[in-house]
Amino acid sequence: MLRGLILGAAVFLSGVALAKPPAGGAFCSTYPSAPVCTGQQPSCTYCHVAPPQRNAFGARLEPHLAPGAARPLSDGDFASALPWALEAVEAEDADGDGVPNLVEIQRGTFPAEPNSIPVDTGHCQAGENPQYDVCRYDARFAYKRLLLDLCGVSPTYAQFKEFSALSADEQRARMDAELERCTTSEFWRGKNGQLWKLAHPKIRPVGSLKAGEDPGTIALADYYDDYALYAYAQLDDHDAREVMTAKYYVRRESNPTRYSVVPTLPTQSMDELHRAGNITSRWSLLYFVMFSALPRNAASQAYRAYLGLDIAKQEGLFSVPGEPRDYDAKGVTAPACAACHATLDPLSYPFRNYEGLSFPINPDAPWGTYVPNRIEKRFPNDSPIITQMPEVGYLFGQPVRDLVEWAEVGANSDAFAIAAVTDYWKLLVGHAPTAEENAEFVATWKRFKGTHQYRVQRMLHDLIRTEAYGAP
C-alpha cells in the first residue's frame, strides 16, 4: 500500500519538473474513496521516479496539466488544473499492464508500475482443501497461526481437535484467551522476543557502542532502555503513544520478564521537562544526533520509525514556505535537494538543543541532554546564520514550538496509528496491507486510534479476526 502524504506532479521552471505541495489534497479531493487517500495521501513517487524525473503515470498527466499556461503554475492554479488532468487520463493505461489508470486508482494499485495490478479474489470452490475453508475466514487456521505468531508453538493435535469441536462463539472466546496468555510469554515480550524484533528498525542497535548489559568495546549508551520503553508501551492496557511522549523510563527485570515505570535511570540523563519518549533517549541522541548542529538524521529517523514516513522515499512532504533556509550551509537550497529539505529542515529545528556527542568523546560529559543555546555554544562559526536557527519547527505543515510538542502532535496523528498497526500487520499477516486488504486494514487502525485509544493489546483482538489473518 502506498504510504505518504504528498503527491508529486509535474510543473516546469526553467525546464525542470518539480513536485507541487497541493497535489496530494487535489488528488484525494478527486478520488476521496481511493485506498491511498484513506487517512493519508500518495507520495511523490505516484507521479515521479524522483523529482524532477516523471514516471509513466506522471508523463501521461503532463500534457493535460493546464496546457498553454505560463510556468511555473501557482499552487492555486495547479490545484485547480490537476483534477482535469487526472480525469483526462482515467481511461488510459500508463504502465501498459492492461488495467486502466482509474481502475488502479480505485483498487489501490500503482498506475505507473506494471507489476502492481488488482487481484481478483473469491473464485475458490468448496472442496479445494480438506483441512481449511480456503474461501473464507477459518477460525481453525487463525487459531493455529495465533499460537505460532504469539506463543511460538503450534497447537498439539489434541488441542486442535478440541478447538475444532467448539462452537463459533466458543472458538472466538478461546482465541481471545490464548492471545492474552501468549502476550505474557517470553516469546512475545522477552529480550529478543517478538516485540523487540518490531523495535529493531526504530532503535537500530549497534553492539560496539552498547553500555550496560552485553556491553560493546566503546560503551556509550544502553539501548536496552529503549527496548524496555517500547515493549512497555505495547503491552497490557498501556498507551502506545508513550513510546514518543513518555516522561518516564522503564526498567526491565528478567526471569520472567517484567517492565515497570521509573522516574529516572542511571543510564539516562534527560531532564523530565524535555523528555519525549524514545526520541530523546540517550541512545537516540547519541546515534542519530551525534555531532550534528542541525540533526536532520534524528528528525528523519523519528519520522520514519514512529510515523511511518520516509523522506528519502519522498513520503510525508509538507513544504514550509520560505524553506529550506540552509542555516548550516550544507547546500540544501539546490533544486535537487530543496523539495525534500523544505519539509525536513523545519522538521529538524526542534532538535537543535538536544546534545548528541560532545567532542572529544567523553562518557562523563553532559551529552544525551537538553542544552539551551547548544548551537550558540557549540557551533557558532559553522555558518554566518547558524545561530538564527529556530527551535520552533513544523510537523505535517503545523507549527510546533519544541520537540515535546513535535512528539505529541505526531503521536496523536493518523500517521502514528497507521504506522503502528502496519508493524503488527506485517508481523502477523506477513506483509504490508495489500489493496485487497485495505478495507480491513483501515477499519483496524481507525479502531486502534478511536475505540481502543491506542491500546495495542485491544487492537490485536481485531487483527486476528480479519480475513487477511484468518483466511487460508
| Residue range 397-436, pLDDT digits in tens | 999 999 999 999 999 999 999 999 999 999 999 999 988 8
Which bin fits 311, alpha (ψ -120 to 50), beta or left (φ > 0)? alpha
Q: State the Cα–Cα distance between residues 244 and 258, nearest whole angstrom.
A: 21
The reply to whether 117 falls in a domain is no
Residue 185 has pLDDT above 90, yes or no: yes
Residues 48 and 158 in one domain: no
DSSP classification of residue 397: T
The reply to whether 401 falls in a domain is yes
Cell numbers describing residue 225: 532502555
Residues 432 and 288 in one domain: no
**Among candidate residues 365, 383, 411, the one where a domain is terminated:** 411
The percent of residues above 70 in pLDDT, for the chain, comes to 89
Residues 163 and 202 in one domain: no
Residue 317 has pLDDT above 70, yes or no: yes
Domains identified in the chain, total number = 3
Residues 243 and 270 in one domain: yes
Q: State the Cα–Cα distance between residues 380 and 319, nearest whole angstrom.
A: 27
Question: Do the beta carbons of residue 175 and residue 167 sit within 8 Å?
Answer: no
Mean pLDDT across the stretch 114-138?
69
Residues 98 and 214 in one domain: no
pLDDT score at 22: 62
**Among candidate residues 86, 107, 128, the one where a domain is terminated:** 107
More confident residue, 392 or 45: 392
The reply to whether 120 falls in a domain is no
Cell numbers describing residue 355: 546534545
State the DSSP H helix or E strand holding residue 199, giving kind and residue range, or none if neither: helix 194-203
pLDDT score at 363: 55
Mean pLDDT across the stretch 381-402?
96
Count CA atoms within 13 Å of residue 219 on its CB side. 10
pLDDT score at 359: 65
More confident residue, 18 or 341: 341
Residues 27 and 97 in one domain: yes
Residues 254 and 365 in one domain: yes
**Strand 48-50 vs strand 16-18: parallel, antiparallel, or unpaired?**
unpaired
Q: Is 426 helix (H, G, I), strand (E, B) or coil?
A: helix
More confident residue, 214 or 56: 214
Most confident range, picked from 45-49, 355-359, 412-416: 412-416
The reply to whether 126 falls in a domain is no
Q: Report how far apart the first and last C-alpha atoms of the chain are (Å, whole number).
A: 21
Residue 44 has pLDDT above 70, yes or no: yes
Q: State the Cα–Cα distance between residues 35 and 332, nearest whole angstrom.
A: 33
Residues 375 and 419 in one domain: no
The reply to whether 171 falls in a domain is yes
Mean pLDDT across the stretch 71-84?
79
**Among candidate residues 61, 86, 107, the one where a domain is terminated:** 107
Residues 341 and 304 in one domain: yes
- Domain span holding position 52: 11-107
Residues 229 and 302 in one domain: yes
Q: State the Cα–Cα distance between residues 233 and 281, nearest whole angstrom.
A: 15
Mean pLDDT across the stretch 174-186?
97
The reply to whether 49 falls in a domain is yes
Residues 219 and 330 in one domain: yes
Type of residue found at 211: A
Average pLDDT value for the chain:
88
Most confident range, picked from 83-87, 187-191, 309-313: 187-191
Strand partners, 349: none
CA-based R_g, the chain, Å: 24
Residues 363 and 376 in one domain: yes
Residue 216 has pLDDT above 70, yes or no: yes
Q: Is 87 helix (H, G, I), strand (E, B) or coil?
A: helix
Mean pLDDT across the stretch 303-309?
97
More confident residue, 34 or 249: 249
Q: Please, what is the angle between helix 438-449 and helix 414-428, to 10°?
A: 120
The reply to whether 116 falls in a domain is no
The reply to whether 1 falls in a domain is no
The percent of residues above 90 in pLDDT, for the chain, comes to 65
Name the pTM for this structure: 0.86
Q: Is 210 helix (H, G, I), strand (E, B) or coil?
A: strand
